[in-house]
Chains A and B, each alone.
Chain A
Amino acid sequence: MDLRRPNRPVIGPKVRQVGFVTPDSSSVAAAASSSNPTVVATTSPGSPPSSLSPVMIPPPRHPSTEINNSHYHHIGSYNPSEQILGSPPVLSPSRSSRFEADGSDFGEDDEESMALSGVGGGMTPKGSLVMPQPVAKTEPLVSETNKRDSNVSKGKGAGPSVATKEKLTRAERRAAQEAQRAAKAAAKEAASSGGVPPASKQPKTSTKLIPQQKKDGIAGSGPTQAIAPAGSIEKKQGKKEVVAPHPRMQFDDMTKVGKLKKRAVVNQSEARNRVELFRHLPQYEHGTQLPDLELKYFQLEPIHPSVYQVGLQFLSDKISGGNARCIAMLLAFKEVIQDYTTPPEKTLTRDLTTKINSCVSFLTECRPLSVSMGNAIRFLKNRISSIPHNLADKEAKSSLQSDIDRFINEKIIIAGKAIVEHGVSKIRDRDVLLTYGSPSVVESIFAYAHEIKKNFRVVVVDSRPKHEGQNLLRRLVERGIQCTYTHINAVSYVMHEVTRVFLGASSVLSNGTVYSRVGTACVAMVAHAFRVPVLVCCEAYKFHDRVQLDSICSNELGDPDAISKVYGRKDLDYLDSWAQNENLQLLNLKYDATPSDYVSVLVTEQGMLPPTSVPVIIREYGIERLWT
């Protein structure tokens, strides 16, 4: 241990970010023997790297860098060859980019502090200070980005198609991994299998492991070190193809679609008359998949029945609404975890992640994931990957299950309650409140406001083809709230009397755009034109750091037949015989993007904010997500 210590700084402060940990037997042993140290490490020294907000936690960082700083001199002398290889200017960008990739602003900060400490520490020229990084740098960088990629790609199910995309290359990746494994075989299998999972760990976990990691990195066996970058690079390449060009699958790319189809569990026949503008989105004929899936039930071995059930419910629209879908999915995953046993010669973190991935891709085939679900999946994967290797299956499973429960409880249920508290404070007596569709949070705001004897009236605006507002109307009327029901075209007629507009959101993007049920933008626009305040109620777990300007580039298309048939109006069948005409296209858009200037205030559990504050919340919330 002591021997290794001096080496540790090689990876230096950056190591905190290093995702790639190769815990060989010694490190595992260390972790096992001292489970406490890791925890301690996470809480205190680990905080700087994961502290995504510069506002919050800068101070701890300096001490730590200084500590490391002392090692820097060694570093400089340690790796002269790398000095030549890595030129500082190249390094710093890569470095900062890495940090940016993490969503933290610390890149600069960190560098400065390091430079300072370096200079102060021992007259080491900055160059030498930085230079050592190449060694550590290249490796962590790769592993880091790669890790991030994997996190993003898997977790960011936000992009409904991401998971599918990932699936595309899974084969390749697997093949590559196989090759890697073969190479590793010479070393130790255990090391290799253990080597990869930490890579997908959060920065925080990697920081915990800094000590061991560094030891491994430098003093550890040659093979492991060699493998680490190789594996990560190869992995990165695989990923890159998936994630780098587009965060979402583009369905106008024929080769990709072809690959996707080969792998697809759900056979969906493409809609005949696809809408030209939306070629990049999947346009399937609805209603054709169900019988097909039913037939396949017994063939689809890898998919857990509960996931299967949820998938079918998504497919048939039995479950809809961001929160409901997210909860249903998490509960299904909980059951998956419950029934999961780690196969021999595999690790839980890794195998369970792939299992979850396959479930996610199945769900994506049923219906593209919502942002909320993507975030939840990302959370779950973070949890899985942060499970210590030495943990028994049973404990790991129970901890994951409690994590899921906590997510549902904290991020959805309690957050919802907090939003209700905030939202109710904006309802005055004799208000006329307008809502659109059937947002669950808004409904509970109304219910609570009614409970506390506020005197108000609700206007429920509804739209074709789902008529979700009718269910809301029924529930509100049953509660005894006075309601007015109308359709979206009449919104400018009713807007005269409205004093507040409460809207729900599927997701809020970091440019303040509210991505929500189609029609929300219309309502917000009319309200804006009539100078009526628009309150968008949304749990913070639905925030996403993507940006979007219009409703076309990414969206979801519903069943086109729902357009040609008017529910409950049998007399209206003008389009029935024409639905197959090549000139006719039926567009059933599911979401739209409301520009942020139409939104007066965003009601979240964090408080009431202007939509421009979303990126701030995303940053702050990023920490929270890491900690939970």
Chain B
Amino acid sequence: MPDVSDFILKLQRRRIEGSHATARQTAELLRFVVSQHRMPHTNQTASLLEAVRAVGEQLIAANPVELAVGNIVRRVLHIIREEDSSAVSFEGLQISEKSDDEEDVERKGGPLLSAASVAAASRSTLRPRSLQTLLEDGPAPIVPSNSSSNGDSEGRSKSDKSARSKRLKHAVIEAINLLIEEINSCYDDISEQAVEHIHHKQVILTLGRSKTVKEFLYAAKQKNRSFRVFVAEGAPRYQGHVLAKELIQKGLETTVITDSAIFAMISRVNMVIVGAHAIMANGGVIAPVGMNMLALAAQRHAVPFVVVAGSHKLCPLYSHSPEVLLNELKSPSDLIDFGEFSDCMDFGARGGAPLMHVVNPTFDYVPPKLVSLFITDTGGHNASHMYKLIADYYSADDLVIKRTTTS
């Protein structure tokens, strides 16, 4: 059974590699939290939200750079709200059937949310529902007003409250299960689209290693497309070597190049496909270090720069200069051998302040104008369209609430 403090420790120590694993484990942990949550008699939704939020806050604080944690927490909060509203609407419908003395609010909320409940039935992917909700109840703020009114209505109709609380919890857990499934299956959904983008004899450049990219290329290979891949090794982690190894195992023609040769080689490349660490609300990408350089080179030579990423990487936040604020500086030992440079470090000691600094950032920020296309599990999107996707996945309430609670 997942343990919150254990998971926090892992996050703090950066034991969990990759946003995909983080996302999955976060979702599992939150499912556990929800299932363990003891439902109070009143205001169940709010208490559940509060519980998830409290855990989420700790998780986010444990590794603020791993945006997937925050994304999943927000997704779960969103799920709770939706489940709650659908439950309410379901009840509301029932109520409207039974008794006609309903409040205005309830009446208004009823039909609107019934549509959502219908959509909730087909939740396997959030796609269809999201579109519908977009069209039908466009203004997001309606949802919170509903949920708050729900609490009131909940209090009023206490008769079948225990049944409903069970139903809510159950529905939330179900939805989280679907979310986990979605995270697990995002590779398949993304790589399904590979054949639409990769043609015969194409030359593809990628940097570092991303499992999504790997699956994407595998899928194209399975469809008997023969193409060539250049892999920039992605110093200082050299994950490109791992990717290269995986690709040659599948029989793909792979060329490993140094990161410094990116500019030299980009002119012979037809497409750049990279993974991302997170996708920001403005369509910017937080990606492994070096990606900005690659994107600039691709732009210079008009090579399409394609980012493949699961929807759990969509981050509703946007911070100013994310390359500095949402970055993580790793140990200098990746770049420099301490033993070799110990003498230089002594020089620093003489004058007080050290003379030598080593900068080893983990992430890079690629501005949206450099990204040609995002391929997520819901299809291809333009950078300017990312905010819409984000609006589908997260309720606007949580962004604000999160910020106030974290502050």
A575 to B364, Cβ gap below 8 A?
A: no
A519 to B261, Cβ gap below 8 A?
A: yes
B364 to A588, Cβ gap below 8 A?
A: no
A574 to B245, Cβ gap below 8 A?
A: yes
- Chain B residues near A521: list those with CB within 8 A: 263-264
- For the complex, what is the distance from the CA of A464 to the CA of B263, rounded to whole Å? 15
- Chain B residues near A494: list those with CB within 8 A: 359
Closest to A594 in B: B263
Tell me what chain B mostly uses at the interface: helix, strand, loop, or mixed: mixed
- For the complex, what is the distance from the CA of A470 to the CA of B337, rounded to whole Å? 10
Interface residues of B in 251-273 (CB under 8 A from A): 251-265, 267-268
- For the complex, what is the distance from the CA of A519 to the CA of B324, rounded to whole Å? 23
- For the complex, what is the distance from the CA of A482 to the CA of B348, rounded to whole Å? 9
Interface residues of A in 16-53 (CB under 8 A from B): none
| Segment of A94-102, A207-215, A550-558 engaged in the interface with chain B | A550-558
- For the complex, what is the distance from the CA of A587 to the CA of B231, rounded to whole Å? 10
B356 to A587, Cβ gap below 8 A?
A: no
B318 close to chain A: CB less than 8 A: no
Closest to B262 in A: A522
A491 to B293, Cβ gap below 8 A?
A: yes
Q: Determine which of A275, A482, A489 lies in contact with B293 in the assembled complex, contact meaning CB atoms within 8 Å.
A: A489
- Chain B residues near A473: list those with CB within 8 A: 341, 344, 356
Q: Determine which of B244, B263, B324, B347 lies in contact with A575 in the assembled complex, contact meaning CB atoms within 8 Å.
A: B244
B1 close to chain A: CB less than 8 A: no
A518 to B258, Cβ gap below 8 A?
A: yes
Given the interface pairs A574-B241, A584-B244, the reply to whether A493 lies near B258 with Cβ below 8 Å is no
Mark each residue of chain A from 480 to 511: 1 if its CB lies under 8 Å from any CB of chain B, else 0. Answer: 11111111111111101000000000000000
B310 close to chain A: CB less than 8 A: no
Interface residues of A in 547-583 (CB under 8 A from B): 550-552, 555, 563-564, 566, 568-569, 572, 574-575, 578, 581, 583
B336 to A485, Cβ gap below 8 A?
A: yes
- For the complex, what is the distance from the CA of A496 to the CA of B325, rounded to whole Å? 13
B interface residues, tally (CB under 8 Å): 61
Mark each residue of chain A from 251 to 279: 1 if its CB lies under 8 Å from any CB of chain B, else 0. Answer: 00000000000000000000000011100
B289 close to chain A: CB less than 8 A: yes
A525 to B300, Cβ gap below 8 A?
A: yes
B168 close to chain A: CB less than 8 A: no
- For the complex, what is the distance from the CA of A526 to the CA of B296, rounded to whole Å? 7
Given the interface pairs A483-B356, A593-B264, the reply to whether A526 lies near B292 with Cβ below 8 Å is yes
A487 to B264, Cβ gap below 8 A?
A: no
B289 to A552, Cβ gap below 8 A?
A: no
Interface residues of A in 452-494 (CB under 8 A from B): 462-465, 470, 473-474, 477-478, 480-494
B254 to A585, Cβ gap below 8 A?
A: yes
A interface residues, tally (CB under 8 Å): 59
Cβ of B366 to closest chain A Cβ, rounded Å: 9
A589 to B259, Cβ gap below 8 A?
A: no
Given the interface pairs A485-B359, A492-B293, A493-B359, the reply to whether A585 lies near B255 with Cβ below 8 Å is yes
A477 to B324, Cβ gap below 8 A?
A: no
B212 close to chain A: CB less than 8 A: no
B235 close to chain A: CB less than 8 A: yes
- Chain A residues near B252: list those with CB within 8 A: 583
B358 close to chain A: CB less than 8 A: yes
- For the complex, what is the distance from the CA of A486 to the CA of B362, rounded to whole Å? 12
- Chain B residues near A522: list those with CB within 8 A: 259-260, 262-263, 293, 297
Closest to B361 in A: A493
Residues of chain B at the chain A interface (Cβ within 8 Å):
228, 230, 233-236, 238, 241-242, 244-245, 247-248, 251-265, 267-268, 289-290, 292-293, 296-297, 300, 323-324, 327, 332, 334-337, 340-341, 343-344, 347-348, 351, 353, 355-361, 364
- Known pairs A526-B293, A550-B267, A563-B233; list 17 more (Cβ under 8 Å): A463-B260, A482-B355, A482-B357, A484-B359, A486-B335, A489-B290, A492-B293, A493-B361, A522-B262, A552-B268, A555-B264, A564-B256, A583-B251, A583-B254, A584-B244, A585-B254, A587-B257
Residues of chain A at the chain B interface (Cβ within 8 Å):
275-277, 462-465, 470, 473-474, 477-478, 480-494, 496, 518-519, 521-522, 525-526, 529, 550-552, 555, 563-564, 566, 568-569, 572, 574-575, 578, 581, 583-589, 591-593
| 11 pairs from A and B in contact (CB 8 Å cutoff) | A464-B259, A473-B341, A473-B356, A482-B356, A485-B357, A525-B300, A569-B334, A572-B241, A583-B251, A587-B255, A588-B258
